[in-house]
Amino acid sequence: MPPQILIDLLDHPSEERVEAYGIKRQLISLRSLKFKLDHFPINTIKECLIQTKKIKERIADITLTLQTLKKELKSTLDLFIEPFNDYEDVRKGRLFLAELEKIEGEFEAVLAQYKDQAIPTLEQLGQITSVQRDIVIKLEGLHQKLKGEKNFYKETLDLTSHLASQYHLSLINLRYNLRQSFQNTRVVLSAYLRLPAEMKNEGVLERAQATLILLDTMRQELCAETRENRPLATIHRENQLAIQDFEQHGQIPREILAIAYQKILADLMQRAALPLPTLEQRNSIANGLISQKEAALSAIEAAKSAYTTLTTSNQQCVASLSAFAQADSALVAFEKSVQQASIEDRKRSKHYLKSLEIIKVIQEEYFRILKKYFDQACENNPDEIANFVKLKEKRWTRNAFHAHADRFTDLLDKIDPRLCRLLSLQFGYERLNEKYLNGNFLKSAQIKCNEKALASTEQRLLQAEQHLYKNQLIKTVEDTLHNESMEYISEGIRSDFVQWIRIHVLKPLQYLLTYCFVPNSFFTPTWRACRTEEFLVEAGNQFYNELTDNPGF
C-alpha cells in the first residue's frame, strides 16, 4: 500500500507538495547510491585487474623463454650422442636441460593453480586477489631464476654457443681424418701407378685408376657439403665405412709396393756402403761428409724399420714411403756433397789448372780482337751498336753462348771472323773440363779396371782418372792449337789467294825443309799468318811441351 503522504498528494495535489516530495525522493536515492558506493570494492577490483595483466605477461615471457632455451639446448645436445657425449660442455648442457625441465615443472604447477580460479563474484574478490598475489610471487621467482642475477637464460645461450663451437671443431676433425684417409689412399695408389709396367696387374691397375677418380669426386663433394646439423656419431660412422673401403682398395697395391721397395731398400744400403773418398786436407767440404753419411745411414735404418709396416694400412704405407723418400733425400744430399768435394779436389789438380791457363790465353786473344775492331764494327753497322755494346764485356761460357748462338754468331762475325773460332776453341776445353769435374773419367777408369780384373782401389782409380784426363787434355791441345792445320784461323783475315798459297805451296815446302831434316815437336806458322794464328801456334807449342816433356805432369 502506498504511503499516506503519497495518497494525500494524489488526493489533494498542489505545487508545493509535489515539489517537496520530489526533492525528498531524490535525496533518498542519492543517499542510497552514496551508501552503495561507499561499500563497493573498487580498489580490490583494480588490484585484481592489474595482477591479472601482470600474470598473463609473466606467463607469456616465461613460456617463450623456456621454449626457446629447451629447443636450442636440446637440438644442440642431440648432435653429441655417444661416443661424442663426454665433452665437459655436453655434461654441463645435460645439467642445464634438467634444470630447465625442473623450472618448467614448477611453472606448469603455477599455471594449473592459475587456471583453477573461478570467475570471481564481488564477495570472492578478496580471496581471488590473495591467490593472485601468491601466483605473482611464484611467477616472479621463476622469472628471477631464468633472468635474475645468475641469468640462467644468458648462461644457457652461452653454453649453447660453446656447444656449437665444439660441434664445429669436432666436425673439422672428422673431415680432417677423412681427408687424410683420402690423401693416404691417393698416395698409395699413385705410388703403385708409378711402378714399372712389369710389376703391375691389369685388374689392380684399373681398380686403382677408378678409385683415384672416385677420390677426386668425393673430395669435391666433401668440400662443397657443409654436413652440419647432423649428429657427429652419424658422420663418424659414415667416415669409418668410407675409410674401411679405401683400405681394401689399397691392400693389393701395398703388397706390390712392398716387393718393389724391398729392392729400393737394398739399393739404398748398397749406395750407402760405398767408402768415403780420399780428399785433400784443405778440402772445405770434407769435414762435413762424415756427419752427412751418418745422417743418411740413420735415415736408411728408419726406412728399414718402416718397411716392416708398409702393408699394414694405407696410413702406415704412406709413413713408410715418406721414410724411404727421406732416406733417399739424405743419401742424395750426401752423394752431392761427395761429388762437390771431389770436384773441389779436381779443380786443384795441376792438369785442370793448366787447362784454365789455356782458356785464359784464348779469352785474352778474344778480347784483344774485340777491343781493336769494336769501333770499326760500330761504324760499319750503326744499327747494331746496341747489340755490339752487350757483347763488349760479355764473358761467354759454352752453355750461355749456345743458348743465344743464332743471335750473336752473325754479330761476332761482323766484328771479326776469328772471334767465333776462338770461342769454339774455348768451348772445347770447357766441355772437356765438365766431363772431368762430373767424374766421367773416373767412371771410365772404373770400367777399365773391371775389364782388366784389377782391384779398383780408390788410389788406383784416382791415378787412372788423372792419367785419362791428362791424355785427353793433350789430345785437345793437339786438335786445337798444336797441329799442322792452323791456317784456318787466318781465313777471312787474309785473302783467299794468299790462303791458297799458304796451304798448298808454302806449307808443304815448310814441312819438307823443317820437319824432314830437323824433326821436333814445335810447329812454325807459315808466311803471312795473322797475329792470332801466330799467337795460338806459339801457345800450342808451349802448352804441349809443358804437358808432355815436364815429368811433373
pLDDT, tens digit, 9 for 90 and up, residues 59-73: 888 888 888 888 888
Which residue ranges make up each domain of the chain?
4-38, 42-150, 177-258, 269-345, 487-553
Higher pLDDT, 230 or 463: 230
pLDDT tier for residue 523 given thresholds of 50, 70 and 90 = low
| Segment among 35-39, 82-86, 502-506 with least mean pLDDT | 35-39
- pLDDT for res 311: 93
The more confident residue out of 19 and 226 is 19
Q: Grid coordinates standing for 127?
A: 580471496
Q: What is the pLDDT of residues 198-218, one digit of tens each?
A: 777 777 777 888 888 877 777
Taking each helix axis from N to C end, the angle separating 350-380 and 531-548, rounded to the nearest 10 degrees, works out to 180
What pLDDT was estimated at residue 377? 87
**Of 377, 422, 415, 378, which is closest to residue 401 (Cα–Cα)?**
422
For the question of whether the overall pTM of this predicted structure is more than 0.75, the answer is: no
Place of cell 716392416: 308
pLDDT at 517 over 60: no
Report d(CA 187, CA 318) in Å as an integer.
7
Per the prediction, the chain carries an average pLDDT of: 80
- Whether residue 502 contacts residue 536, with contact meaning beta carbons closer than 8 Å, is answered with no
In terms of pLDDT, which residue wins out, 382 or 38? 382
The three-class DSSP label of residue 494 is: strand
pLDDT of 455 = 44
Over pLDDT 70: what percentage of the chain?
A: 79
Distance CA 453, CA 468 (A): 18
Residue 470 reports pLDDT greater than 80: yes
Give CA 481 to chain center in angstroms. 55
Omega cis (within 30) before 83: yes
Which of 126, 269, 254, 107 has the alpha carbon at shortest distance from 191? 254
Does residue 398 come out as left (phi exceeding 0), alpha (psi in the -120 to 50 range) or beta?
alpha
Q: What is the pLDDT of residue 18?
A: 56
Which range is least confidently modeled, 17-21, 143-147, 150-154, 288-292?
17-21
pLDDT at position 4: 59
22 versus 75: the higher-pLDDT residue is 75
